[in-house]
Structure 1
Amino acid sequence: NPTVYLTDGFNVTNFVTEGYFVLLLDISYTIGKPGDSALDCVTAAVNTVLDLGVVNPAKIGLIGHSFGGYETSYIITKSKLFATAVAGAPQTNYVSGYLDISVNYKKAEFWRYESYTNRIGKPLFEDMSNYLYNSPVFQSQSIKTPLLLWTGDQDTQVAPSQSMELYLAMRRLGKKVTMLRYPNENHTLAEPTKQADLTQKIVNWFGHYLKDSPPKQWMLANDNP
């Protein structure tokens, strides 16, 4: 059912009731190619929908949270298919992420990048170029897509600095980016007022870029690099 009380700001029904076509898809991963695996699967799925002629190819949005936030951030470094994107709590720098300590698991993050979700398959110093290639931060000069980032400032799953790194990179490059940093929130939002705030802001963001609604003032706060 439609609701604004969402831990990650996204609800399919909310967008369907706003007249959006919502596409959810599965991704098949190749070890060593986490970013391109997502890029290839998402691009193929979107192109299949475009072939049906049911959506405007100039008004397609992309959204993801956590690893989906990473995939969103990566995809827009390689593709111009999307008019805008929203990435929540993304991993954006595979080097600094690898060389960090997991707050939740109380151990170095090596495992996550070598053999778990991030699927590089090798240690950093055996495949440095691939870690750099799969890091949106180091590919950010290629981004043309306006991006909304959000994170909780107490995130113990993905460090808030991962969002900040991409935000600062894009700001320095003069890219269109806005970042929402929710105080006293973790990997997902728990406080109902903040849940409602994020949900509404995501709706506003897509409304502006996909439906040509006037921008809200909070979207303009980051206009100057």
Structure 2
Amino acid sequence: MFASSTGASLPYRLRLPGPTAVPDRVLQAAAQPMIAHRGPEFLARFKAIQDRLQPILGRSGVPPFLFASTGIGAMESGIINVAGPGQRVLIATNGQWGPVFRRLAEGIGAEVDEVVTEVGEPIDLDGVRRALGEKCYAAVLTVHSESSTGALTDLKALGGIVAETESVLVCDSVSGLGGAEMRADEWGVDVVLSASQKCLMCPPGLGIASISEKAWGVIERDDRG
């Protein structure tokens, strides 16, 4: 709380891209008594959350993974499951989150190439296509909603380009999911990574990862070091 010029107390407002303001009904639900985390009520509630996320993700089949994590933790989980030491990844960068993908990829020993456009501009689809024609990549990494500028990636177009190769498309949709359309299956977005604290308007601390059949084929291989 803070005081206005009249002395009245006003609710505190976060003036940044996230975490977003959590609705009162969500806060009230979080204040309910705890339930047994190994009991049938929790399991039913957990499955209901997974099921209700599927249409938001545009995914059928395997339900999303939910785990205690920041958004960057979700991004790290995506990279480490589809790439490894010595494997090459391509990052489409147009703001502050492409470099985070780079740091995480280099941290596991992956070889990194980037297609960079001006901050705030759409990613360079032609540049991505050219890079994929010149080298083989384990994964293409992109950002759905670049929260530093508001730039939105054309995932349908990018997914069509990546689908022509053996690479998997990994998307940071931390600030996109729930606010911008996501059709993961239809657009060929193999790994969607998100978190609870932005457009989903829940408290921070929950990571989300949704995996396609193509990505599962990569994950199940034991060749990432």
- TM (norm. structure 2) is 0.36
For the pair shown, the structure with the greater C-alpha radius of gyration is: 2
- TM (norm. structure 1) is 0.36
